[in-house]
């Protein structure tokens, strides 16, 4: 076991009491974890293309009563497209930047996800994981922020969190964050404009063609519902990756990158068919230790992390309705230096 100034999960919950550095963790990983294998990368991409093609064939030929199964299969396979783009966004798919950019745009294009704007915002999440007021992924709402909202926004939040609507969260994030290039630094705006143009052109061609050939129902059947299933997985992966009642979000002065990435990133097991179609995106801890690790090396890296840093890791979990119920019941508001509380506890304490 690698030594550090703290040990044990209880100490790991206190992000600020360690001089552990992220580079210390990275140094313990096998060098093979960082090796980009062109054959494995393109095999992963081809598998995704084949699975999405098979999924759309199932949509074409399935009787009406099997459509829900076909939609689930198609949306999950499309999530694999996103994971390919995800590797490209971290430059871990290919060694050449232009290859990453081209492949990233192609695989995220059917999802109407602007590649560069997502890449920039997502890398910011990695640099500030579980840091209050900085992490731009699924971050907790503090009571003082909640109190500053008007009644309409408070009511919408209550419905969203208490009615277990976590699965639409990614849709809102997609719509609000990724299309307005004015929200990005000047140096990044040309890339963001390019990515927005790519998905706009795709939508302008694909959507009218789909409607003209198969009608409004065809648009709903072949694109909208699979796209919503994709966002179900996006929302689910995002909230589960960093949310548990004992996972802290800290202010910058108390935040430690090494502990945040180890204890603040959660490994969750999903059904094997989901993990296969989504290229092990659920093996999330090593991805937060280093984004240079390609998706096909995540399990190798995680075994090393378990061996060397297991004391610091959050308990693993398994995806289920009870897990999502637990998260949405307990992790509603977040009090600085105290942790999560439910809305019921918040109102009871006022």
Q: Are 256 and 15 within 8 A, CB to CB?
A: yes
For the chain, the farthest-separated pair of C-alpha atoms sits apart, in whole angstroms, at 65
- Which residues are within 8 A (CB) of 90 and not within 5 positions of it... i.e. 6 or more apart? 119, 123, 291, 292
Q: Is 28 helix (H, G, I), strand (E, B) or coil?
A: coil
Nearest residue to 343 via CA among 157, 207, 212, 198: 157
Q: Is 37 helix (H, G, I), strand (E, B) or coil?
A: coil
Alpha carbons 334 and 328: distance in angstroms, whole number: 13
Question: What is the pTM (predicted TM-score) of this model?
Answer: 0.92
The pLDDT profile of the chain, 350 residues, written as one tens digit per residue, is 333 333 445 445 555 556 788 999 999 999 999 999 999 999 999 999 999 999 999 999 999 999 999 999 999 999 999 999 999 999 999 999 999 999 999 999 999 999 999 999 999 999 999 998 888 888 888 999 999 999 999 999 989 888 889 999 999 999 999 999 999 999 999 999 999 999 999 999 999 999 999 999 999 999 999 999 999 999 999 999 999 999 999 888 889 999 999 999 999 999 999 999 999 999 999 999 999 999 999 999 999 999 999 999 999 999 999 999 999 999 999 988 889 998 988 888 77
Give the model confidence (pLDDT) of 237-281 as tens digits.
999 999 999 999 988 888 999 999 999 999 999 999 999 999 999
Residues in the chain: 350
What is the separation of C-alpha 240 from the centre of its chain, rounded to a whole number of angstroms?
9
φ/ψ region of 152 (left if φ > 0, alpha if ψ in -120 to 50, else beta) reads alpha
Alpha carbons 45 and 51: distance in angstroms, whole number: 10
Extended beta strands in 159-288, E state: 268-269
Across the strands, what pairs with 115? none
* Packing angle of the helix pair 97-108, 38-61 (nearest 10 deg): 10
Q: Which residue has the tokens 């290039």?
A: 181
Domain ranges in the chain? 9-348
pLDDT at 4: 36
Q: What are phi and psi of 2, to 5 degrees?
A: -65, 135
Question: Three-state secondary structure along 144-163?
Answer: HHHHHCCHHHHHHHHHHHHC
Across the strands, what pairs with 141? 333
Would you report the helix, strand and coil content of the chain in percent, each value rounded to 5? 70, 5, 30
pLDDT at 84: 98
Q: Which residue has the tokens 């939508």?
A: 203
State both tokens at 130.
Answer: 């579980």
Alpha carbons 61 and 1: distance in angstroms, whole number: 54
Alpha carbons 305 and 254: distance in angstroms, whole number: 24
Q: Are 128 and 135 within 8 A, CB to CB?
A: yes
Burial status of residue 326 (CB atoms within 10 A of its CB: 0-12, 13-18, 19 or more): middle
State both tokens at 350.
Answer: 């006022």
């Amino acid at each position: 076991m690698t030594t550090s100034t703290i040990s044990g999960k209880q100490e790991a919950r206190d992000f600020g009491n360690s001089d552990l550095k992220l580079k210390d963790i990275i140094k313990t990983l096998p060098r093979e974890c960082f090796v980009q294998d062109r054959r494995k990368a393109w095999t992963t991409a081809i598998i995704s293309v084949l699975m999405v093609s098979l999924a759309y064939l199932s949509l074409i030929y399935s009787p009406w009563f099997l459509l829900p199964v076909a939609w689930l299969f198609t949306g999950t396979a499309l999530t694999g497209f996103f994971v390919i783009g995800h590797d490209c966004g971290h430059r871990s798919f290919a060694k050449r930047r232009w290859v990453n950019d081209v492949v990233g745009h192609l695989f995220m294009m059917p999802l109407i996800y602007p590649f560069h704007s997502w890449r920039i915002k997502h890398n910011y999440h990695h640099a500030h994981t579980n840091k209050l007021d900085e992490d731009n992924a699924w971050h907790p709402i503090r009571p003082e922020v909640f109190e500053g909202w008007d009644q309409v926004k408070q009511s919408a939040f209550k419905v969203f969190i208490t009615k277990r609507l976590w699965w639409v969260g990614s849709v809102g994030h997609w719509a609000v964050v990724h299309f307005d290039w004015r929200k990005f630094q000047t140096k990044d705006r040309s890339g963001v404009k390019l990515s927005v143009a790519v998905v706009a052109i795709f939508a302008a061609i694909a959507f009218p063609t789909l409607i003209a050939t198969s009608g409004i129902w065809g648009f709903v059947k072949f694109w909208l519902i699979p796209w919503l299933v994709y966002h179900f997985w996006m929302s689910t992966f995002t909230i589960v990756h960093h949310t548990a009642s004992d996972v802290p979000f800290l202010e910058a002065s108390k935040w430690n990158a090494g502990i945040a990435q180890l204890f603040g990133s959660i490994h969750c097991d999903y059904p094997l068919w989901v993990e296969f179609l989504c290229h092990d995106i659920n093996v999330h801890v090593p991805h937060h230790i280093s984004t240079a690790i390609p998706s096909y090396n995540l399990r190798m890296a995680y075994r090393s992390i378990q061996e060397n840093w297991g004391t610091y890791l959050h308990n693993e979990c398994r995806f289920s309705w009870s897990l999502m119920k637990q998260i949405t019941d307990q992790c509603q508001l977040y009090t600085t230096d105290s942790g999560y509380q439910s809305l019921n506890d918040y109102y009871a304490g006022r």
